[in-house]
A = this chain, B = another copy of it.
Amino acid sequence: MWRYATRMGSKSSYHHGDLRRTLLDQAALLLREEGEKGLSMRALAARVGVSRTAPYHHFKDKEDLLCAIATEGFRRFIGVLSLESADLSETNVRQFVHSYLGFAISNAEYYDLMFGSQLWKSGSVNEALRQEAQASFRFYLEQVRDWQRQGKVNNQLDPLRYAQVSWSALHGMCRLLIDGIYLDPGSMGPMCDEAGSMFWRELQAGRQAGKAPASGPGAQRSSH
């Protein structure tokens, strides 16, 4: 556990001293500027002013780098999620939807990694990333459960199902917006309101039609 040049700024040519941090930041910048295709290990190394294989001493491979960026994204994201702790109201729920989409849109390069198929589908998610991700969903779910315990939402509602479906709606809007499918930026505001109202109504009404709340496995390793 030894640091070489803890002071940044003084480039000693060899031994960058702060390479890992710099790589993470510049990679995110590259992603934002040039998109996913613009981020290659070699381009990143060149941008940072280091040889092509230098990054491999800080990240096992490219996916490891991406996981690290995604993990940082989740840290920031959780900050946004935990904003709305005030009491529950329709305006509040709407506001939350706005916040979620706001983060996703203005940090699209992070959001794409955090919830993109690139990392998740190929099963190459870090353990750190997986935990950070689970934490954010669990946080959301716990909030719903708290509301229910406090009698603020209908008792009939299955918190897990509601959390899953509402999160899906949020995620779906982000994806369609970011990818430019069906939705255009102009309809973002009204959509957030519509979604917020729908969520609100669901929270108040709960499920009425038949079928006792199922108890099967819920979200991965976060049921119960």
Chain B positions within 8 Å of A198 at CB level: 165, 198, 202
B173, A175: Cβ atoms closer than 8 Å: no
Instruction: Give Cα A165–Cα B172 distance, bound, in whole angstroms.
Output: 8
Binary contact track A175-210/B, C-beta < 8 Å → 1, others 0: 110111111101101110111011001100101110
From B123, B183, B205, B214, give the contact of A190 (CB < 8 A): B214
Binary contact track A8-19/B, C-beta < 8 Å → 1, others 0: 000000000000
A207, B219: Cβ atoms closer than 8 Å: no
A180, B121: Cβ atoms closer than 8 Å: yes
Instruction: Give Cα A194–Cα B208 distance, bound, in whole angstroms.
Output: 10
B165, A122: Cβ atoms closer than 8 Å: no
Contact A117-B209, Cβ < 8 Å, known A162-B194, A186-B217: no
A168, B164: Cβ atoms closer than 8 Å: no
| Interface size class, chain A | 35 or more
Q: Is A3 interfacial (CB-CB < 8 Å)?
A: no
Chain B positions within 8 Å of A222 at CB level: 182
Contact A120-B161, Cβ < 8 Å, known A187-B219, A194-B207, A197-B209: no
Give, as a whole number of angstroms, the nearest-CB distance from A119 to chain B. 9
Report A78-123 residues with CB < 8 Å from chain B CB: 90, 112, 115-117, 120-123
A179, B209: Cβ atoms closer than 8 Å: no
Q: Is A167 interfacial (CB-CB < 8 Å)?
A: yes
Instruction: Give Cα A187–Cα B211 distance, bound, in whole angstroms.
Output: 14
B184, A217: Cβ atoms closer than 8 Å: yes
Q: Is A145 interfacial (CB-CB < 8 Å)?
A: no
Partner-B contacts on A (CB < 8 A): 35-37, 90, 112, 115-117, 120-123, 133-134, 137, 158, 160-162, 164-165, 167-173, 175-176, 178-184, 186-187, 189-191, 193-195, 197-198, 201-202, 205, 207-209, 211, 214, 216-220, 222
Q: List 16 A-B contacts (CB under 8 A).
A: A116-B117, A116-B179, A120-B179, A161-B187, A161-B190, A165-B191, A167-B172, A168-B169, A168-B191, A169-B172, A171-B176, A183-B220, A184-B217, A187-B217, A197-B209, A201-B202
